[in-house]
Structure 1
Amino acid sequence: MKWKVLKTDKDYEKAAKRMMQIFHTEEEGPLLDELELLIVLIKDYDDRNYPYLNTDPIKVIIQKMDEMGIKSKDLVPLIGSKGHVSAVLSGKREITLKMAKKLRDFFQLPADVFL
């Protein structure tokens, strides 16, 4: 099959299914070439459609803060005291489920970012 850039969920599912069928290919040749191409196409699709998956939640929060032009003090109502905000943003304190829900809603992020 000739593969092209994945543009729909249906394309993605078809590519993922095929990739799993040939995943254990080790011999040089057309199957290995196809597998390598599918990996690139699937990663490209994921990067375009799910940019925050597999990303450190703290980095995502900081990026969203920069995009929105807000400061750490603006997160006090969501996280707690100024000290709590500082500890969370520096990675010294874990994000609790309650914080994650508030941050998800505030930044309009998918819940997967915090899982």
Structure 2
Amino acid sequence: MKELKPIRNDNEYEAALAEASYFIDHEPAPKSKKADRFEVLLMLIESYEAKHYPIDLPDPIEAIKFRMDQAGLRPKDLQPMIGGLNRVYEILNRKRPLTLKMIWKLHSMLGIPAESLIQQSDELHIA
């Protein structure tokens, strides 16, 4: 086996992915040298991807809708976090921005990452 080292280019990244794929198909025994290698390899891949292929945070409203879908929530279920049902619909329809208080409640009560909610929505449609 080759010595593990930082991934510095796409060729090394592809080789690391191929090796990780092998370990996925042939899972090493826990706490073995191969399991340790697999874990370190995944960390190197994750680090390279974070630097070269960053993933943008989701739009705040899309994050809320996704969480609603995951948890089987309806707009009325958001009332404790946002306010009256009309306010919930204004938020979901991008007619009103989220307040800091709403962001905090959505984060603490639904587990939506605050980083996602803090972003300003590009599509606020205030008439």
TM-score under structure 2 length normalisation: 0.55
**Structure 1 residues 4-19: aligned runs within 5 Å:** 4-5=16-17, 7-8=42-43, 12=47, 16=51
User: SS of the residue aligned with 2:57?
Assistant: coil
Q: 1:74 aligns to what? A: 77
User: SS of the residue aligned with 2:102?
Assistant: helix
Identity of aligned residues (%): 33
Distance in structure 2 (CA, Å) of the matches to 1:100 and 1:70: 17
Letter in 1 for 2:87: H
Q: How far has the Cα of 1:61 moved from its partner?
A: 0.6
Distance in structure 2 (CA, Å) of the matches to 1:15 and 1:83: 39
Q: How far has the Cα of 1:7 moved from its partner?
A: 2.7
Distance in structure 1 (CA, Å) of the matches to 2:109 and 2:83: 14
Unaligned runs of 5+ in 1: 17-38, 47-52
Q: 2:30 aligns to what? A: none
Q: 1:58 aligns to what? A: 61
**Structure 1 residues 25-104: aligned runs within 5 Å:** 39=52, 42-43=53-54, 46=55, 53-104=56-107
Q: How far has the Cα of 1:54 moved from its partner?
A: 2.3
Question: What's the CA shift string for 1:36-86, capped at 9, x where partnerless?
Answer: xxx4xx34xx4xxxxxx4211111111111111111001111101111001
Distance in structure 1 (CA, Å) of the matches to 2:49 and 2:59: 29
TM-score under structure 1 length normalisation: 0.61
Q: Alignment RMSD, CA only?
A: 2.6
Question: What's the CA shift string for 1:72-107, capped at 9, x where partnerless?
Answer: 001111101111001001010000000000001122
**Residues 60, 9 of structure 1: CA spacing in aligned structure 2 closer, same or farther, 3 A cutoff?**
farther
Unaligned runs of 5+ in 2: 1-7, 18-40, 119-127
